[in-house]
Amino acid sequence: MVFLSVINWARCRGPDEFWRKRRIFRLAAHYIGRRRNCYSIAVRNVHRALVYATKARKLKKEDMKSLWDVRITAACEQHNITLFSLREGLDRANIMLDRKSLSDLASWEPKTFEALAAVAKYKLETDRFIDGQDKCHPTGINLNLKDVMLEAWLNEKKK
């Protein structure tokens, strides 16, 4: 006898099921309890972990930025300058150092940082940048208004 239809009733779930699940289990190897052994529980937790990893790429940059800011502020205070003044002075002097470089210099090269703070202070002094504003003389100071017949106009009799 030849049983031809019995073979058709056999079901194969998915030929690569083992390897699909192994991809998830490899990421869940360090989880606790059923989360590392049972697929339906592991898959939920692994997906959450991957979502956290995606969101954290942006958060890491924000965290590092704030940490660098704190470090640079601390170093600035040792040299009697504010972070704002330092950044303004260095920008005006065309010294384009980012937060990472400044914080690394503050930790590892203190004398270099002291020199940078001095450069910023000197630049702000020469620019007369006081209290966040340019307190320079008004621009018309060198115009000789006498030459422009202003006095004659002022003394003119108005009808």
Partner 1 sequence: MSAAKRVQQWATFARSWHIFDCKWQDPYESAHVIKKYLMGMHKPIYHPMNDCGDVVVCINSREIALRGDEWRKRAYFHHTGYPGGASWTLAWELHNKDPTMIIKKAVYRAMTGNLQRRHTMQRLFIYPGENVPEDVLQNVTNQIRQIRYVPKRLDHIPEEEVKNYPKVMEYPEDFVVK
Which residues of the shown chain bind partner 1 in the complex (CB under 8 A)?
A: 67, 70-75, 77-78, 103, 106-107, 110
Query: Of 101 and 107, which CB lies nearer to partner 1 in the complex structure?
Result: 107
| Contact call for residues 145 and 115 (beta carbons, < 8 A) | no
Question: Least distance to partner 1 from the beta carbon of 78, Å?
Answer: 8
Question: Least distance to partner 1 from the beta carbon of 150, Å?
Answer: 47
Query: Of 37 and 78, which CB lies nearer to partner 1 in the complex structure?
Result: 78
Question: Least distance to partner 1 from the beta carbon of 83, Å?
Answer: 12
Query: Of 106 and 120, which CB lies nearer to partner 1 in the complex structure?
Result: 106
Query: Of 50 and 118, which CB lies nearer to partner 1 in the complex structure?
Result: 118
Question: Least distance to partner 1 from the beta carbon of 70, Å?
Answer: 6
